[in-house]
Structure 1
């Protein structure tokens, strides 16, 4: 079912974009939650296997749900970049990103949208409130990225850049991806947040419940993705060095 283009005229118009890669067992419940919140939804099939693609095609028959198919797996970041481009083409002003594996609480969708409507210029970023299902290795491992982010922004303002539940204002995101190369896989979520912060895009935070995950499928490659993330932190570190005077001035001005 095709999503109708957003209303013209600059009105607040959010689109939920869900990158999907072989999460056929969980994605139905996520889409149910999106529809319960009354939001339009774009599923980005990131080169999934046929079993998942069939499920996505069935979901796309629903009113307000559409499907964008990438024939070759691009990674989470690549899928989101495709989703941003499609949202722009249809005239939406904001993209709400949520993961396909069911770990995020779709009951919070309205809270995120309300926050974005109040601060349409800001990224609304989720802060995970984990329950007992979270693997301890993942929980503790996140702190290495937190520390690097605080170094690379010279600030403690970005509290969690790994949570995939967030709302982006499209104009600054589109400018960023048009001017710089952003990681296309598991490095995407953190890199895009740091680079938006560097560009003085405001960031607001919302606590949200996170469980691990509904279908037990993780696509995190311990070796390859950790190497990518390490390289990303290195790139950002050298990018921070020449931005350091400006970042420190922002702190002195109480702006981050």
Structure 2
């Protein structure tokens, strides 16, 4: 039987997290939140929330490791504690949490698949972020020699933990905003299939983004360079996969 939990990376996101946890509490699923080296004021908020919600486990990084580092800490903790699947959710309230039931239903049908939200944006999305996604989509299609990965940047996903743990043990993955892209491509290379569920994504008014335009875009560009050359040695396997399916 599949056992699900929720993993939330959090670096100084305090404005929406209480509402996110309250809504998630209706699902009766354990939640693992990773404090990724937040400041003292945020730590006080998180400690109070952990005392309020019995379903919440709070893990703490002494120093900021980045979104990817925080998610990986949560995924490893979930696997070590017997969960079969972990649902990644952002702390800032941008995800449509009522769609989690759809993600779980899809995962139950194909437990070995990654199940990811496929974002439907409203007018709140920053235009530069929207356009940059399509650049990444193009490179991911090249790196997988397929159009199977419809969106590689949505951090609203269900990970099958056994396959994910195997990957993390074999390969050091990106620790920052490059993580969402890299883990999906490498899980695909490892043989995983990806199911996409349409979901509304908003950028809340007054929300705080930790995306660093220069550093993170450079990091993502370097990631695509590495993945492109990684694809070259995998061309026979990727082509064979297209024939098999």
When normalised by structure 1's length, the TM-score is: 0.93
- For residue 215 of structure 1, report the CA deviation from its aligned partner: 4.3
Residue 201 of structure 2 corresponds to 210
Residue 4 of structure 1 corresponds to none
Aligned partner (choices 91, 94, 109) of residue 100 of structure 2: 109
Is contact 1:127–1:207 with CA below 8 Å preserved after alignment?
yes
Residue 73 of structure 1 corresponds to 64
Cα distance in structure 1, aligned partners of 2:169 and 2:157: 20
Cα distance in structure 2, aligned partners of 1:213 and 1:179: 37
The ranges of structure 1 where at least 4 consecutive aligned residues each deviate by more than 4 angstroms after the TM superposition are none
Aligned partner (choices 203, 207, 232) of residue 241 of structure 1: 232
Aligned partner (choices 161, 164, 188) of residue 170 of structure 1: 161
Residue 59 of structure 1 corresponds to 49
Secondary structure of 1:197's match?
helix
Deviations 1:20-60 (A, max 9, x none): 00110011111112111221101100001112111111111
- For residue 248 of structure 1, report the CA deviation from its aligned partner: 1.4
CA 1:231/1:150 → structure 2, altered by over 3 Å: closer, same or farther? same
Q: How many residues align?
A: 244
Instruction: Using the TM superposition, name which of 55-64 and 140-149 deviates more.
Output: 55-64
Instruction: Using the TM superposition, name which of 171-180 and 242-251 deviates more.
Output: 242-251
Q: Which runs of 5+ in 1 are unaligned?
A: 1-10
Aligned partner (choices 191, 194, 201) of residue 185 of structure 2: 194
Deviations 1:217-246 (A, max 9, x none): 010111111111011000000000010111
Secondary structure of 2:200's match?
strand
Cα distance in structure 2, aligned partners of 1:75 and 1:147: 25
Deviations 1:59-103 (A, max 9, x none): 112121110011100101100111111112211111100111110
Q: Which runs of 5+ in 2 are unaligned?
A: none
- For residue 114 of structure 1, report the CA deviation from its aligned partner: 1.6
Residue 44 of structure 1 corresponds to 34
